[in-house]
Amino acid sequence: MNISFLDNFLLWHWALLLVGLWLFALWLSSRYKNRYKKRHLRFSNDYFQGLNYLLNDEQDKALEIFLQLVEVDWKTIDTGLALGNIFRRKGEIDKAIKLHHDLLSRPSLPVEYKSRILLELGRDYHLAGWLDRAEGLFNDISKDEIHACDALYYLMDIYQKEQEWRAAIDAGWQYQKLCKKDVRPVIAQFHCSLSEHQLKQNNLKEAEALATQALSIDAACVRASILLGEIAMLDRQYQKAIDVLQQVEQQNNVFLPLIIDRLAECYRQKSDLKELIGFLRNAENRSDKLDLASALAKLIHEAYGKTPALEYLSARMLVNPTLDGMNTLLDLKNPDDESTYNYMPQIVKNLLKKQPSYQCHKCGYAANTHYWLCPGCQTWSGMRPRIINNKSGLMYE
Ligand SMILES: [Zn+2]
């Protein structure tokens, strides 16, 4: 069948119309792409300008830009939050708080970012020392699935600072269960703090129950064993006290110097000081770090007399001289002995004063008073007695 002129004309007509539509569509899409490119380019330029301000330490200008950017795309919030971190680190907490309040007050804030900003605001309050406000925020955030671990960690710290030990224990167990981190040694310390409080009130039964609980939570808790020893001593159960105090050797023998005086008191009550000397000598032999020469010499002096003590300590000082040992040696020597220069004891005492009795093995904080919670880095059991490591020459474990 032949195609008529009219049919031909219509076919061409339709073809032209289709090509026209296709061209129009192409033009539209390229126009949109150009617009997007321009907008995107402006967005990137602003972003890099903001970064540039940050690098040049012009945080306030950077803040202005990032607050505008976040309105366009909330995904840029990481940069805004990093800025909050910088303010916090520089101690400009008021600026950090203002930034986080500003972000929280925006109607366009997507729900998924809300608890993240609240967490940052909680950290601001925590650092500023507004613990009540921080506590309220972290309590709310601890119910949020994603940020619960961070919130519980801060709650533990806040309750510890406020010495609200019961609340600290609750937050600690939640953290332990939810976040798969072992904080049992810290929870045991919270129980010890409660036990100490009861001991001060002379509630021996409650104090004993709490220290026993601490030991069941963390079998290596030296503080709990010392507390149980003290409670037994107050109850005049000296053998029981000796048994719990001597556990410290297995728990962590660097803390042995902390219990020697208490043990000596128990053995004196049993008139059995020689047995303590045997125990300490064995403990020293079982370790390659412990040096108890000075303490042993004092006990030998008490149990056997001055001459054996002097002989023992002089022999030890010839092999491993230590300031503590020299000090005890000078104390043991007869003050009338002309062979000792008069000023020697004072020199050693002055040298000893320069060496604090306790030091934190984590941060190096040193003091002459023992704290279970290091004032320097807030580590439990961080501070340890001065002991001499004969082999490596380390002063503190
Ligand atoms: Zn420390």
The three state secondary structure string of 300-341 is HHHHHCHHHHHHHHHHHHHHCCCHHHHHHHHHHCCCCCCCCC
How many C-beta atoms surround the C-beta of residue 20 within 10 A? 10
Cα 359 to averaged position of ligand 1 atoms, centre (Å): 8
Cα 57 to averaged position of ligand 1 atoms, centre (Å): 32
At 242-284, the pLDDT tens digits run 999 999 999 999 999 999 999 999 999 999 999 999 999 999 9
Amino acid at residue number 296? L
Measured CA to CA, the distance from residue 286 to residue 338 in angstroms comes to 39
Residues near ligand 1 ion, CB 5 Å cutoff? 360, 362-363, 365, 374, 376-377, 379, 382
Cα 250 to averaged position of ligand 1 atoms, centre (Å): 23
The pLDDT of residue 66 is 78
Amino acid at residue number 258? L
Cα 350 to averaged position of ligand 1 atoms, centre (Å): 25
Structure tokens at 68: 């505008």
Cα 371 to averaged position of ligand 1 atoms, centre (Å): 10
- 3-state class (DSSP) for residue 396: strand
Block residue for tokens 């000792």:
340
Q: What are the sequence ranges of the domains in the chain?
A: 182-270, 291-354, 357-397
The pLDDT of residue 394 is 43
Cα 333 to averaged position of ligand 1 atoms, centre (Å): 37
Measured CA to CA, the distance from residue 240 to residue 337 in angstroms comes to 43
Counting beta carbons within 10 angstroms of the beta carbon of residue 45, is it exposed (0 to 12), middle (13 to 18) or buried (19 or more)? exposed
Cα 357 to averaged position of ligand 1 atoms, centre (Å): 14
Q: At what angle do helices 256-269 and 273-286 cross, to 10 degrees?
A: 160
Cα 373 to averaged position of ligand 1 atoms, centre (Å): 8
Cα 370 to averaged position of ligand 1 atoms, centre (Å): 12
Q: Do 308 and 273 contact (CB within 8 A), yes or no?
A: no
From the centroid of its chain, how far is CA 309? 43
**Structural fold of domain 182-270:** 1.25.40
Q: Do 198 and 230 contact (CB within 8 A), yes or no?
A: no
Cα 372 to averaged position of ligand 1 atoms, centre (Å): 10
How many C-beta atoms surround the C-beta of residue 207 within 10 A? 24
Whether the per-residue pLDDT at 201 is higher than 80: the answer is yes
Cα 72 to averaged position of ligand 1 atoms, centre (Å): 45
Mean pLDDT, the chain, as a whole number?
A: 85
Whether the per-residue pLDDT at 24 is higher than 70: the answer is no
Cα 284 to averaged position of ligand 1 atoms, centre (Å): 26
Q: Do 389 and 397 contact (CB within 8 A), yes or no?
A: yes
* Banded pLDDT at 392 (limits 50, 70, 90): very low
DSSP state of 254: G
The pLDDT of residue 105 is 87
Whether the per-residue pLDDT at 5 is higher than 50: the answer is yes
